[in-house]
Every structure is written in structure tokens, then in C-alpha cells.
Structure 1
Amino acid sequence: MTLPVRDQLKYWGIAALIFAVVLWFLGDVLLPFVVGAAIAYFLDPIADRLERAGASRTLATAIITVCTILIFIVAALLVIPTLVQQTSQLVQTAPDLFQNLQNFLAQRFPEVLAEDGVFRQTMTSLGQTIRDRGGELIQTALTSARSLISVLLLFVIVPVVAVYLLLDWDRMVARVDELLPREHAPTIRSLAREIDDTLSSFIRGMGTVCVILGTYYALALMAVGLQFGLVVGVIAGLLTFIPYVGAIVGGVLAIGLALFQFWGEWIWIVAVAVIFQAGQLIEGNVLTPKLVGDSVGLHPVWLLLSMSVFGTLFGFVGLLVAVPVAAALGVIARFLVAQYKGSRLYLGSTDTAREGGDDAA
């Protein structure tokens, strides 16, 4: 006998509550497993393609693991040290940049920077705060034993979890399918496919776009000689998943740094601006249409809201699960709206629905 809808809602509500409580209390413990699961989900299509090419699942996983290790070694040897060095230098030179900005404003707009003016005091305080707090943050991150252990655990546990989940991904999906309530299995499968399409379009598509644009910005800015080009490129690439934010933040930061570094050499300042304009053209006309598509279904405001809420409630783990949960809630909301529009609650009685159709005709 089928359970009443009220009882079903009660049980699913209890399950959601248990999930939230577990996430609340075990967020730090679950972090490596959530990251590993995200990596396995991201790489699963590559493993499926290798399987279709004739490789076994074990061989496909081994190929992906070896390639990933090689990429990580190259990044650890070439990119990460430079990134850390430039970030530290940027934090240390922030007061000098603000001082140069003050000097520029003092020459052009002397009335703005009175000796005891609010703007001058704010700029001085902001630059000093960035240097002090930024230095403290880097020093704490590097010297804290707890942070070091956490980082080591991430580097050890995450790859292991990702490899095992990638190896058993199809079997896990089949196992979960066996546990679905038989009465609602077709509907759940349909919703799951739609959620997967949304997630794959956004996470895999936008993740690839972020990597491509971040690499492009970093290499191009370093090629024109911008002092902190790698840092700016990484920041712009990471923020690309929010439409226009990556280009605006990265562009403002890069052009601001270029003004101080290349003041008087306008060709290089224009070159930095052209780099970000070209990046926007490439993203809008080539990368996003090809890799993401138009049917993602995640509005930027909805995405930011979910990340803010889950980040505040559950910390960094909340930020990681915010996108999948937002995608799932969006798909479920569209499904409920479709069900509502087909129900008598929306259509009314048969006679009312028929009269409404006649009036529309």
C-alpha cells in the first residue's frame, strides 16, 4: 500500500534534516570526501569516453590518475611557487601602491587629499591593514601545525577518495538506483538526469572555461610584463563562474597595477585592457556557448544566494555543496511548478478550465 503524501513528506523532511545536521557537525571531516567526490564527478565523462574507446574502467582510471599526477607535478614545480611568491609580494607592496595612488591624487586633485582628510586616512589605513593582515594570514597558514596537517590530509585523502569513487562510479550509481522507491523511481530518475545535465553544464563547462581563461589571462599578462600577472590571471579565472565578475575584478586589478607599473608607457596599459576585452569576446562567443550552453538553469543571483547561505551555515564545505544543492532545488522547483500548473489547484474544476480555454480562444 502506498504511503500517504503527508507521511512521505515527513520522512523525506527528516532525511533532509539529518543531512543538514551531519553537514553542520562533520563539515571539516567531510571536506576531503566532498572534494574527492567533486573531482570524481568532474572526471567521470573522461573515464566513460576511454571505456567507449575500448579501455576497461580500471585502465581508464589509471590513465586519468597518471595524467593528473603529471599535471600536478608540473604545477607544483612551475606554477605554485611563482603564485605564492607573487601573492606574498602583492600583499607586501600594497601600502606602496596606495602611497603611489595618494601621490597621484595629490598632484591631480590636491583638494581630495587634505592632510587630515578622511580619504587620505582611509587609504593609509587600508594599505597598512592589507600588509599587516595579509602577512599574518600567510604566516599563520604556513606555520600553523593544524593547518599544515589539514593540508597534508587533503593532499593524501582527496586523491585516494577521488580514485576509488571514479573507479566505482557506475556501480555506485546503479546501487543507488536499486534503492529508489519503486513507485517514484521513474520520476526520481528523470529529475536526477535533469540535475546531472545542469551540474555537468555548469561545473564541468564553467570549470573548463575558468581554467582556460585563467591560463590565458595569466600567460598574456605575464607576456606583457605585468608584475603580478599570474596572481591576477588566477583571480580572474576563479571568478569567471560568476558572469562578468571575473573580467571586472581582474580587469580593474590588472589595469590598476598597470597604471602604477607602466605610467607614461600607455601602449602597455592599453595592451592589458585589450587582453581582458579579448578574453570577454572569447568567453562570450566561443567558450561559454560551446562548453556550457544556454540551458544551464542556474541564475547568477540564485547561485550567489545559495553560496552565501550555505557558506554562512556550513563554512567551506557549504560552499562546495552549494552549487549541486542549488541545481537540485532549481530542478525540483521547476518540476513542482509544472505539477502545479497541471493540477486542479491551478486549473480549478473541469468546467472552469474549459471556460478558461474557450475565453483564451
Structure 2
Amino acid sequence: MALPVQTQVKFWSITIAILAVSLWYLGDVIMPFILGGAIAYFLDPIADRLEAMGLSRVAATVIISVLAILLFVIAFLMVVPTLVSQAVALADAAPTLLKRLEVFLIENIPSIIDEDSTIRQSLASLGQAIKERGGELVGTVLSSAMGVINIVILLIVTPVVAFYMLLDWDRMVAKIDALLPLDHRPAIRQIASDIDRTLASFIRGQGTVCLVLGTYYAVALMAVGLQFGLVVGFIAGLITFIPYVGAIVGGTLAIGLGLFQFWGDWWHLAAVAGIFMFGQFFEGNILTPKLVGSSVGLHPVWLLLALSVFGSLFGFVGMLVAVPVAAALGVVARFFVGKYQEGLLYQGLSIPEAPKTSDEGDAD
């Protein structure tokens, strides 16, 4: 005999509340495990393909881990120092850029901006605030992120967790499947399958799109000689998962910096704009259709809401899990909406009866 619905609702509500409280208090502790699980989930299809080619799970996991570590070390040695130096330099140069913008506005719109105007004073105060706080903020973030404890956690614990989770991924999935409630197993499997498909389409596909576009923007902008091109490309690629936002933010930042650096050199400005135009064409017509596929039902507003809510509640860990949780909640919501539309609560007694056939009419 199955448990009453009210008892089941209470049980699962308590379980969800316990998980939320655990995430709240153990956010920093479980961060390497969340990262490790995400990495294992991302790499599991590659391990499955290597197994299909005849390798054992252990051999596939070792090969993937060695290649991932090599790529990480190369990227860390070649990219991270330049990225950090450009980020600090951009924070230091921001007051100068704002000052040049102020001069440009004064020279070209003298009737709007004068020495005592609110806009000019705001620009001056904004530049001073960035000068005083910008470098300090970047330095604080870098120093906190590169502390000894965080280095140990992120560079040692996370890869170890990812290795073991990737090695045992299929067995863990089988164990969880065996623990599903028998009465609800078909529905849970359907929801889990839809969530996996959504995450595979969005997280894996869109993550690859972000990596490819970020690399393209950074390399192309640095090739045309734009200062801070690596930082701009990194920012544009990082937020590409929100449609149009990455291109708008990255393009605005790149063109804005290009106006100060290449003013009068219209060919370089056109090259900067062309880089983002080609990037959007390449993403919309090649990358996203091939890697992400059709729409997975994640609206940009839903993503922004999830990032804001989870970021404010759980900090950095919340932002890490915001997108997959939003995708999962979207799948669950669509499932229950479908069940609601099939039930009497939605259809009521107003369902039209099927029309009688001619044979039934003759029989009457």
C-alpha cells in the first residue's frame, strides 16, 4: 500500500529543506564536490565513447584526466598571468578612460555639460571612486581566490573528486536508480531523462559555445591590437550562455575601448565591430545549432532570475548551481503543467464528447 499523498509531500518537502540548509551552511566546504561533479558530468560522454572504442572505464578516465590536467596547466601558465595583469590594468586605466570621455563630451556637447553640471561631477566622482576602489577590489578578489586553502581545494581536491566521480559515474547512476520509489519510478525516470537531455543540450553544448567564442573573441581582439582584448574576450565568452547579453556586453566594452584607443583609425574600429558581428553569425548559424540543438526551454529572464536568487542566497556556490537547477526546475514545471492539463482540475466537466459515428446513429 502506497503512502498517502500528504505524507509523501511532507517527506519530500523536509528532504528539500534539509538539502537547502546544508547548501547554505556547507557552501564553501562542498564547493570542490560540486565542481568535481560538474566536471565528471561534462566529461562522461567522452568516457562513454572511449569505452565504446574498446577501452576500459579506468583507462578512459585516466586518459581524460591526464589530457585535462595538461590543458589546465598550459592554460594556467599561458593565459592566467596575462588575464590577471590586464584585469588590474583595466581597473587602473578606468579613471583615465572616464576622463577622456568627459573631455570628449565637453568638446562635442558644450551646451549640455559645463563645469558645474551634474553629469560632469558624476563622471569625475565615478572616475575617482574607480581609481580608489577598482584596483583594491581586483586585488582583494585575486588574493582571496588565490589563498593557500583555496589553491589546495581547487587544484587538488576538485580534480581528485572529478576523477573518482567520472570513474564511478555509471555505477552511481545505477545505484540511485535502484533506490527510486517503485510507485513513482516511471515518472521520476521520465523527469530525470528530460533533465539530463536539457542539461546535456544546455550545459555541455552551451559551455562549449562559451569556450569557443571566448577564445575567438580574445584571440581576434588581441590580433587587431585592442588593449585588454583578453579580458574583453573572457567576459564576452563567459556570459554567452545568456542569449545576446554576451555579445552586447562584450561588443559594447570592446567598441568603447576601441573608440579611446583607435579614435580616427576607423579601420581598426571597423575590425573590432566586425569581430563581434562575425562571432554572432558564427554562433547563431553554426555553433549553437550544432552543439546546443533546438531550444531547451530556458528563457534568458529565467536564467537571470536563477542567478540572482541563488547568488544572493548561497553566494558563489549558488551561482555555480543556478543554471543546472534552473534547467531542472524548468523540466519539472513543464512535467507538472502537462499533468495538470491532462487532469480534471484543468479540463473539468467541459470536455466535449466524441461525436457519434454514422453506424452508432443508425443503431440508435
Q: Smaller-chain TM-score range?
A: over 0.9
Is it true that 1:311 corresponds to 2:311 in the alignment?
yes
Cα separation, partners in 2 of 1:145 and 1:84, compared to 1, 3 Å:
closer
Cα separation, partners in 2 of 1:66 and 1:23, compared to 1, 3 Å:
same
Residue 249 of structure 2 aligns with which residue?
249
**Range with greater deviation from structure 2 (269-278 or 113-122):** 113-122
Point out where structure 1 has 5 or more consecutive residues left out of the alignment: none
Tell me, in whole angstroms, the C-alpha distance in 1 between the residues paired with 2:139 and 2:87. Answer: 13
Tell me, in whole angstroms, the C-alpha distance in 2 between the residues paired with 1:131 and 1:196. Answer: 46
Tell me, in whole angstroms, the C-alpha distance in 1 between the residues paired with 2:211 and 2:145. Answer: 31
Is it true that 1:111 corresponds to 2:102 in the alignment?
no
Is it true that 1:43 corresponds to 2:43 in the alignment?
yes
Residue 167 of structure 1 aligns with which residue?
167
SS in 2 for 1:240: coil
Give per-residue Cα distances to partners, 1:247-276, cap 9 Å, x unaligned. Answer: 000001000111111111110001100000
Alignment of 1:192-231 (within 5 A): 192-231=192-231
Tell me, in whole angstroms, the C-alpha distance in 2 between the residues paired with 1:238 and 1:143. Answer: 21
Shift of 1:23: 0.8
Shift of 1:113: 2.7
SS in 2 for 1:129: helix
Give per-residue Cα distances to partners, 1:183-224, cap 9 Å, x unaligned. Answer: 111111111000000011110011000000000001110110
Question: Do the aligned partners of 1:224 and 1:268 also contact (CA within 8 Å) in 2?
Answer: yes
Cα separation, partners in 2 of 1:70 and 1:146, compared to 1, 3 Å:
closer
% of aligned pairs identical? 63
Is it true that 1:138 corresponds to 2:138 in the alignment?
yes
AA at the equivalent of 2:207: G
Question: Do the aligned partners of 1:199 and 1:324 also contact (CA within 8 Å) in 2?
Answer: yes
Q: Among residues 348, 352, 355, which one is paired with 1:354 in the alignment?
A: 352
Question: Do the aligned partners of 1:215 and 1:233 also contact (CA within 8 Å) in 2?
Answer: yes
AA at the equivalent of 2:245: V
Give per-residue Cα distances to partners, 1:123-145, cap 9 Å, x unaligned. Answer: 12212222222211233234459
Tell me, in whole angstroms, the C-alpha distance in 1 between the residues paired with 2:146 and 2:303. Answer: 31
Question: Do the aligned partners of 1:142 and 1:148 also contact (CA within 8 Å) in 2?
Answer: no
**Range with greater deviation from structure 2 (140-149 or 31-40):** 140-149
Shift of 1:354: 3.1
Cα separation, partners in 2 of 1:145 and 1:301, compared to 1, 3 Å:
closer
Point out where structure 2 has 5 or more consecutive residues left out of the alignment: 356-364
Tell me, in whole angstroms, the C-alpha distance in 2 between the residues paired with 1:276 and 1:93. Answer: 23
SS in 1 for 2:79: helix
Residue 292 of structure 1 aligns with which residue?
292
Tell me, in whole angstroms, the C-alpha distance in 1 between the residues paired with 2:322 and 2:77. Answer: 32
AA at the equivalent of 2:251: G
Matched positions, count = 355
AA at the equivalent of 1:235: I
Residue 342 of structure 2 aligns with which residue?
342
SS in 1 for 2:239: helix
Residue 124 of structure 2 aligns with which residue?
124
Is it true that 1:94 corresponds to 2:102 in the alignment?
no
Query: What RMSD over aligned residues (CA atoms) do the two structures have, in Å?
Result: 1.5
AA at the equivalent of 1:27: G
AA at the equivalent of 1:329: L
Question: Do the aligned partners of 1:141 and 1:148 also contact (CA within 8 Å) in 2?
Answer: no
Residue 186 of structure 2 aligns with which residue?
186
AA at the equivalent of 1:277: M
Question: Do the aligned partners of 1:214 and 1:236 also contact (CA within 8 Å) in 2?
Answer: yes
SS in 2 for 1:241: coil
Residue 238 of structure 2 aligns with which residue?
238
Question: Do the aligned partners of 1:36 and 1:162 also contact (CA within 8 Å) in 2?
Answer: yes
Give per-residue Cα distances to partners, 1:152-198, cap 9 Å, x unaligned. Answer: 32222111111111111001000101110111111111110000000
AA at the equivalent of 1:257: L
Give per-residue Cα distances to partners, 1:284-319, cap 9 Å, x unaligned. Answer: 111111111113121111111111111111111111
Residue 77 of structure 1 aligns with which residue?
77
AA at the equivalent of 1:50: L
TM-score, normalised by the number of residues in structure 2: 0.94
Cα separation, partners in 2 of 1:145 and 1:89, compared to 1, 3 Å:
closer
Cα separation, partners in 2 of 1:102 and 1:146, compared to 1, 3 Å:
closer
Shift of 1:348: 2.0
SS in 2 for 1:295: coil
TM-score, normalised by the number of residues in structure 1: 0.95
Question: Do the aligned partners of 2:40 and 2:162 also contact (CA within 8 Å) in 1?
Answer: yes
Cα separation, partners in 2 of 1:125 and 1:213, compared to 1, 3 Å:
same
Tell me, in whole angstroms, the C-alpha distance in 1 between the residues paired with 2:246 and 2:226. Answer: 18
Question: Do the aligned partners of 1:218 and 1:231 also contact (CA within 8 Å) in 2?
Answer: yes
SS in 2 for 1:353: coil
